[in-house]
Chain A
Amino acid sequence: MIKLEKRAQPSRTLALSTPLIAVVITMIAGGLLFAALGKNPFEAIGTIFWEPLFGEFAFYYRPQLLVKGGPLILIAIGLSLGFRAGIWNIGAEGQYIMGAICGAGAGLAFYPMESIFIFPIMILAGALGGWVWAMIPALLKVKFGTNEILVSLMLVYVAEQLLASVSLGLLKNPQGFGFPGSRNLQEYASAHNAELITGTGMHWGVLFAFIAVIMSYVLLNKHILGFNIRLTGEAPRAARFAGVNPTRLILFCLGTSGALAGLAGMFEASGPAGQISIDFGVGYGFTAIIVAFLGRLHPVGILLAGLLMALTYIGGEIAQSNMGLPAAAIQVFQGMLLFFLLALDLLTNFRIKFAVKGAA
């Protein structure tokens, strides 16, 4: 009989090592999945994890790691604050889209004027767009006690409709030959989120992501607000006793995660994606949830998890094109990672005991 026994003290070693164990188990289970699909599992896993970093075309894929990892990290950092406090913003994808629309919209409003003030304005507009979108579930929760999970999630679909609408209408490129999408911001110097160092994939969004990691670390470990966030998540009643104002905390956590997701969207639209288009949203906002948990809601963990997730994205694409693996198999593979991580999570707080069943 297998028994779970609560640990007196959460195991630090396991808290740090479970993500690695989860990655290994995911490789094994994913390998079985790929084998069941008739592909060579070793080749598939190798393609996903090895090819992007050290393969023949690594010079192209390595910068992609930052390009894809940047938004994931930026969004996941914001989400992790709320998740720590038990406030579940599931709608980062919607806030990401709204940030992109507002940021790009602000930039395009000045077209074709050139000024160094345009990009900062776009950054503010992007953050504001995401913030406003997150304030909807926040205010509804604070005023009427609605469930922020449902509201934020449903607002993703509203945002997607808005995205389709502006791509076809308000922000449509007048010189775009009728294609659904805005002007290409990469061709508009003042609004272009260009690579800071050519060939590295490092753009303003990645820089913001790194800054967010540091700020979040400082907030959670050195600041009373971060302490209150952690306290609320771990013992809500003790938090009230400690004088934490739950309303303010909800507004702060949802607002911050919304603003960061909005920033990520704006940097993506003005940089790698280059434009607002109907298929702009690729699910970064949802994947960031996995990233946040994979990184144990810890800033440094999220940094590593974001890069790992980006790796599976890139590797997954290579596997799709080189080996003909279906896209769904790659998504299952990414899902497995979260699944195994959460399952293993139990081990940090519990130990497994193999008890002999009653011998009497």
Chain B
Amino acid sequence: MTGTLLSISGLTKAYPGVVANDTVSFDIQEGEVHALLGENGAGKSTLVKMIYGLVKPDSGTMTWRGEAFAPPEPKAARASGVAMVFQHFSLFDALNVAENVALGMEDPPKMRDLARQIRRVSEAYGLPLDPNRTVGDLSAGERQRVEIIRCLLQDPKLLIMDEPTSVLTPQEVEILFKTLNKLKSEGTSILYISHKLEEIRTLCDHATILRLGKNVGECVPAETSARDMAELMVGDTLQTPTRSTEKTGDVMLDVSGLSLQPTSPFGTTLKNIHFTVRAGEILGLGGVAGNGQDELLAALSGESTTWPDAVKVKGRDVGHLGPNARRELGILAAPEERLGHAAAPDMSLVENALLTGLIRKNLTSNGFVDWAGTTAFADEVIKEFDVRTPGSDRAARSLSGGNLQKFVIGREVLQSPEVLVVNQPTWGVDAAAAASIRQSLLDLAAGGAAIVCISQDLDELMEISDRFGALNEGRMSDIRPAAGLSIDEIGLMMGGAHGMEVAHINEGADA
């Protein structure tokens, strides 16, 4: 560490109705991995967008190696040596890796030279990637490598990574961390945004914690317990979900020989999936995104129909039934994509309550909607699940991601399902709300429901599941009791590191 690379002082950015960043100050040293920690809505994204030139601060200054730094646009930030890997990839499925990389460059070299550069960088940093493969066929981890390599080709001084591990298997996380450590040893600084405390403790030299737009503390993660950091982040003592005594009952959901062709060209084929879930039990399903999670949820919710006996609820064949017929039998689902799938963005929360609540809450008579009853149901969800909104007449898209997620989960839980299938139930939800969502799932199971929880958050799955399985390329791993599973075993169940056969980390590459 030779000095300060980027010094941020008093940055403030206000949006109508909310101060996203309130006089935030911290320094990033040369060659350090600096963590930016905070819940959703704490202002992490706004802060890095200011560094990357996407957003202009209202007040405050930044200095880059002692000189004033105020990038008017990302191009200027990139010219200074700032590179960013976004949480959501901006890649074109139909193009190959090299073409995608070229699209993000100011002045791309010839395709052949670019492919060679990509190979060189990917070997130097232990990020196995073939420049000629079509992006549509890549796993989420490989897609992320495309983004990282796109950044590394710019030879950055500061690499910003926004929640990079949310889509990776443990083995892939390990590869990523090796790469980041290598970059660090070469003097590149990394600003690492995450809310996963354990990773920050292993990887980062220094952490800045944001809460409600303010810098509420700094720490050296290796010397601070995860619990202390979490409490700084939330500003409150954290409730860990509690499980009641375990007792499981009859088989509620029985999936056997479920195979399904995807409806979209880059979807995943489900291949001969078998599992059962008993009353009172939570089955956690891990796996890297894009390995059949959406398709499995669709097959269980009834959006995709199959052979009648591929899915059974309480011994009844339901594989051929549509969503509403299944709801009638007590099988409910909450898909991952909140806007456009679980909820209609431009419709009010009342209308969105009707969207799935109509059958079990009996919200129509002779086809006419009982709007008073629907409003009462929406208000109940808002109240019980602490959804922060001025009223149930608001459009779904006006809610923050976390609040809408609470609404979507609450809407299903309050219909007292017998089988509940959720995909990414706490994705993008702040720690306190995530804990309350998990608690509600545990309570539901304690009440005798069978729950399938599909998630990419392994900590979450370990916290609530009784048994654990993983999806890998549309296949289901063996299902094993969750207690006592090691992280290595889980990683192998998830299919290990995708594309490891071409991986070899070249430790001594030119520095």
Contacts and interface: CB of A to CB of B under 8 A. Distances in A.
B347 A222 contact: no
A187 interface: no
Contacts of B272: none
A3 interface: no
A210 to B, nearest CB: 21
A241 B346 contact: no
Contacts of A8: 395, 397-398
Interface residues of B, number: 41
Nearest to B76: A360
Interface string B303-342: 1000000000000000000111101000001010101111
Interface string A90-111: 0000000000000000000000
A18 B19 CA distance: 32
Interface stretch (B129-137, B352-360, B477-485): B352-360
B327 A243 contact: yes
A142 to B, nearest CB: 16
A234 B333 CA distance: 20
Contacts of B327: 243
B367 A223 contact: yes
B106 to A, nearest CB: 17
A72 to B, nearest CB: 27
Interface string A233-249: 01101111111010000
A322 interface: no
A279 B72 CA distance: 63
Contact of A222 (B303, B351, B358, B369): B369
B80 interface: no
B395 A241 contact: no
Contact of A235 (B344, B356, B367): B344
Contacts of A9: 394-395, 398
A8 B389 CA distance: 12
A234 B302 contact: no
Contact of B368 (A223, A234, A237, A242): A223
A242 B342 CA distance: 9
B387 to A, nearest CB: 15
Contact of B347 (A234, A245, A358, A359): A234
Interface string A1-33: 000000011100000000000000000000000
A359 B70 CA distance: 10
B335 to A, nearest CB: 6
Contact of B355 (A225, A238, A358, A360): A238
Nearest to A358: B72
Contacts of A239: 344
Interface in B456-500: none
B426 interface: no
B344 A224 contact: no
Given A223-B367, A242-B323, A235 B340 contact: yes
B411 to A, nearest CB: 12
A237 B343 CA distance: 9
Nearest to B366: A223
B265 to A, nearest CB: 15
A66 to B, nearest CB: 31
Contacts of B324: 242-243
B507 to A, nearest CB: 41
Nearest to A7: B398
Given A224-B358, A358-B73, A234 B323 contact: no
A227 interface: yes
Given A224-B369, A227-B369, A245-B322, A237 B341 contact: yes
Contacts of A225: 367
Given A9-B395, A231-B355, A241 B369 contact: no
A160 B395 CA distance: 45
Contacts of B367: 223-225
A241 B356 contact: yes
A84 interface: no
Contacts of A298: none
A358 B72 CA distance: 5
A230 interface: yes
A86 B323 CA distance: 22
B188 interface: no
Interface in A222-277: 222-225, 227, 230-231, 234-235, 237-243, 245
B506 to A, nearest CB: 40
B301 A241 contact: yes
B345 interface: yes
A360 B342 CA distance: 43
B261 interface: no
Contacts of A242: 323-324, 355-356, 358
A223 B397 contact: no
A238 B368 contact: no
Contacts of A231: 344, 347, 351, 355
Interface in A270-320: none
B72 A235 contact: no
Given A231-B347, A234-B345, A234-B347, A240 B303 contact: yes
Given A241-B341, A242-B324, 4 more contacts: A223-B367, A225-B367, A231-B355, A241-B323
Interface of B: 56, 70-73, 76, 301-303, 322-325, 327, 333, 335, 337, 339-347, 351, 354-356, 358-359, 364, 367-369, 371, 394-395, 397-398
Interface of A: 8-10, 222-225, 227, 230-231, 234-235, 237-243, 245, 358-360
The 7 A-B pairs at the shortest CB distance, nearest first, are namely: A358-B72, A243-B324, A243-B323, A235-B344, A8-B398, A360-B72, A242-B355
17 contacts: A8-B395, A9-B395, A9-B398, A223-B367, A225-B367, A227-B351, A231-B351, A234-B346, A235-B343, A235-B345, A238-B342, A239-B344, A240-B303, A242-B356, A243-B359, A358-B72, A358-B73
